[in-house]
Amino acid sequence: MNKIQKFFVSFLAFGLIAGGLASCGRTSSASGVLRVGNDAGFGGAETMDPYDGNRTWPTINMVFDRLIGVDKDFSPIPELALSWSSNDDLTEWTLELREGVKFHDGSEFDADDVVYSIERMIDPEFDSPILAVLGVISSVTAVSKYEVLLSLSTGEADFPLLLADYRALMTPVDSQSTIGKNPIGTGPFKMETFDPAGTTVLLANEDYFFGQPKLERIEVITFADSQSAAQALAGDQVDLLLAIDGKSSAMFGDEAKFTLQNIPSGDWNAIDFRVDQEPFGDARVRKALRIAADRQVIADTVLGVGGGVVACDTPVWSADPYRWDGDCAKDTEGAKALLAEAGYPNGIDIDIYTSDVEVHMVELVTAYKDQVKDAGIRVTIKMADASGFWDDVWMKESAFVDSWGQRPATQVLNEVYRSTASWNPTGQVDKDLDKMLDEARSTKDQAERAKKYAQIQERLFENSAIFLPYHKTLTRAMSSKVKGVEPIVIDAVRWEKISVS
């Protein structure tokens, strides 16, 4: 062996020794511990205050409970409230509370906590994001220790579903100043250490009213990007990723080691057109913009085959009981005729703004551009900087991509489409639609109400300025050691029932 070879051999030996030393520190997965990967959603500004805009999800749902939960069909089920009823015009709701529930500090949960929590949610000064959901509440009073009365400013038949929002969580009286970093809830897990940029540790609440959790502890580990989170699952450093990029799913094809779940969700992307900017003020142009594209092709291109469920411009998602499924097949000739009728026989040139602020946003416009060119709609894609997108582009340019999370029908329709909604992104004023929304939410009979919601969605397809081609199907990935995570939307997953074998 000459000198050079000797050198390489010793270099290699050094590497192996170093590796051996390093592997001593490798973490092992103890049973009874669930390691959940989480994305760094708010870059260090995360708080455990469920009503704050920077609330850290899903950790808040391990520590706190709602009054009303949802089952897998998205119908309301008891959580901290055992039962509920309303008056005839749906403006007053009485909730009976579960008795004997203890907060993590040993104090008892009762009507005062409900009043305190809801008053914080609807406080106009604090201006919580959940105000957009529960702004219909005008007052809340404790009737007795275990009974509360909620008065609404308008009749709302689906009020229990609004209370099932993942942020409508119950917090103890006078907790506002401490809850962000030292949360006290009634939920299945207690906060041990809160470190939103690193690892947050939670311990089982043995007195949980739905029964003792099967896990001893949960570690919520934050990752800078989805790729490193996927690597961590592949390398047995985390056990559960609530959502992975569909393109990463090939990494977890080994069924003996990993479980993949595809869950249709209510998350959607859209292209919004400002009606106060030409040519989008003309309903015929808007209709042409929506029938010129094949939505299935767009969904398959953007999300991957099986990655989404086609929507005909309805924000109501596939598992919602009020979902309307119309016919929105591609109709190039129809689109051309509508454009000609509106005074554009040679087609139109439009700019659409997009940004890589979220995945899928750039692909959506690219796929749309390709789809509508046959109808004479010539799209110029404008790339905006990701960091200024929501401030400078969204709701401001004439056309732009959009992204929303899952919401029940009544909420999403009133929050995004109502003429007076603060986040109505197209600026469209449709008084008839507003009236239909009022009528639908105040109809007590379920079948009758469903019919009204279907008519509303049909109207959106005819008239709205939002092109909404699909709802996303989420891919959840976990180690096959994890049991008890049902293949249902996360709002309905019970954390206390999860175990690791």
Partner 1 sequence: MRRVVFSLATFIALAVVSFVGVDALPGDGCTALLGRFGTNAKIDACRRENNLNDSVVVRLKDWSGDLVRGDLGYSIKRDEQVSEIIIPRLRNTAVMAAVAALIAFPSAIVVGLLLGRYPRKRISKAVNQFSVIAMTLPEFVIATVLWLVLSIWIPIFPGVSVMPSNASLLQLLPNVWLPALTLAVVIFAHSMRTMRASVTNVQNMPFVESARLRGTNERKMISRHIVPAALPPVVNVVALDGAWLLTGTFVTEAAFNFQGLGRLAIDAISDRDTALILPIILFGLAVYLVSSILADSLVRVFDPRLRSNNR
- Footprint on this chain of partner 1 (rule: CB under 8 A): 3-5, 7-8, 11, 18-20, 22-27, 35, 40, 42-45, 53-54, 127, 129, 195, 197-199, 221, 223-225, 227-229, 231-232, 234-235, 237-238, 386-388, 390-392, 394, 422-423
Closer to partner 1 at the Cβ: 16 or 447? 16
Closest CA to 209 of 298, 307, 79: 79
Find, among 357, 229, 361, the residue nearest to 302 by Cα.
361
Rank residues 231 and 261 by Cβ distance to partner 1 and give the closer one: 231
What SS3 state is found at 171?
Answer: coil
Q: Is the peptide bond before 58 cis (omega within 30 degrees of 0)?
A: yes
Q: List CB contacts of 195: < 8 A, sequence separation 6 or more.
A: none
Query: What sign for the dihedral angle of Cα 96, 98, 100, 106?
Result: negative
Whole-number minimum distance, CB 401 to partner 1, in Å?
Answer: 13
Place of tokens 């019970």: 494
Nearer to partner 1, 43 or 345 (CB): 43
Total length of the chain: 501
For residue 150, give Cα distances in angstroms to 76, 94, 118, 206. 17, 6, 9, 31
Q: Which is nearer to partner 1, 1 or 447 (CB)?
A: 1
Nearer to partner 1, 46 or 113 (CB): 46
Phi and psi (nearest 5°) for 249?
-65, -25
Shortest CB 154 distance to partner 1, Å: 22
Complex with partner 1: residue 237 or 366, whichever CB lies closer: 237
Nearer to partner 1 among residue 128 and residue 314 (C-beta): 128
Q: How far is the CB of 123 from partner 1 (least distance, A)?
A: 13
Smallest separation (angstroms) from partner 1 to the CB of 445: 35
In the complex, the smallest distance separating the C-beta of residue 101 from partner 1, rounded to whole angstroms, is: 31
Pick the closer one to partner 1 by CB: 23 or 346. 23
- Block residue for tokens 């409508």: 168
Complete DSSP assignment for 93-128: EEEEEPSS-B-TTSPBP-HHHHHHHHHHHT-TTT--
Q: How far is the CB of 231 from partner 1 (least distance, A)?
A: 5
Nearer to partner 1, 87 or 228 (CB): 228
CB of 202 to partner 1, least distance (A): 15
CB of 336 to partner 1, least distance (A): 37
Burial of 154 (0-12, 13-18, 19+ CB in 10 A): middle
Nearer to partner 1, 238 or 474 (CB): 238
User: Where does 358-407 have alpha helices with state H?
Assistant: 361-372
Closest distance to partner 1 from the beta carbon of 467 (Å) = 20
Q: With residue 148 as reference, give the H or E element that holds it.
A: strand 147-152
**Residue among 43 and 487 whose Cβ is closer to partner 1:** 43
Q: Are strands 217-223 and 399-404 parallel, antiparallel or unpaired?
A: unpaired
Q: How far is the CB of 320 from partner 1 (least distance, A)?
A: 23
- Residue 195 CB, shortest distance to partner 1, in Å, is 5
Considering beta carbons, is residue 7 or 30 the nearer one to partner 1? 7
35 φ, ψ to 5°?
-105, 115
At closest approach, how far in Å is the CB of 233 from partner 1? 9
182 near 193, Cβ under 8 Å? no
H or E, element range at 227: helix 226-234
What secondary structure does DSSP assign to 359-371, as a single string?
TTHHHHHHHHHHH
The one-letter amino acid code at 121 reads: M
Closest by CA to 74, choosing from 211, 259, 299, 263, is 263
CB 307 within 8 A of CB 460: no
Residue 425 C-beta: closest distance to partner 1, Å: 11
Backbone phi, psi, residue 354, to 5°: -145, 180
DSSP state of 66: B
- Residue identified by tokens 């046959």 is 374
Place of tokens 């919602």: 320
Nearer to partner 1, 343 or 388 (CB): 388
Give me 460's structure tokens: 């959106």
